[in-house]
């Protein structure tokens, strides 16, 4: 991956998430639509990587914009940092 493209990398991680969670039919459709070329060697994230990333992103985004619709969404990430 000489030319790092943020959108393509996000698509690759989303595809990997779908495959890892046994959403193979959706992953195949997504791969065709997003023109993802699955490459198991390109990334090897921990199983909960995308979920943890999303939880942290949402916590920060909600706190900065004051848009948390439910108080329980704040601090809801699946990993705890000690």
Distance CA 75, CA 28 (A): 33
The boundaries of the domain holding residue 50 are 46-82
Residue 56, phi-psi category: left (phi > 0), alpha (psi -120 to 50), beta (remainder): alpha
- Averaged pLDDT, 58-69: 84
Statement to judge: residues 65 and 81 lie in one domain: yes
Confidence check: pLDDT of 74 > 50 = no
Confidence check: pLDDT of 10 > 80 = yes
Statement to judge: residues 15 and 39 lie in one domain: yes
Please state whether the predicted TM-score (pTM) of the whole model is above 0.75: no
Statement to judge: residues 2 and 41 lie in one domain: yes
Statement to judge: residues 3 and 34 lie in one domain: yes
Q: Over the range 32-69, which residues count as b (16 or more CB within 10 Å of their CB) and which as e?
A: eeeebeeeeeeeeeeeebbeeeebeebbeebeeeeeee
Lowest-confidence range among 8-12, 16-20, 39-43, 73-77? 73-77
Statement to judge: residues 61 and 77 lie in one domain: yes
Statement to judge: residues 22 and 39 lie in one domain: yes
Domains of the chain: total: 2
Statement to judge: residues 39 and 6 lie in one domain: yes
């Amino acid at each position: 991956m000489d030319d790092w493209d943020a959108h393509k990398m996000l698509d690759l991680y989303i595809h990997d998430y779908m495959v890892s969670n046994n959403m193979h039919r959706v992953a195949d459709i997504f791969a065709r639509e997003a023109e993802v070329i699955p490459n198991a060697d390109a990334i090897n994230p921990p199983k909960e990587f995308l979920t943890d990333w999303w939880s942290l992103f949402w916590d920060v985004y909600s706190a900065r914009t004051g848009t948390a619709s439910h108080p329980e969404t704040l601090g809801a990430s699946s990993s705890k940092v000690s």
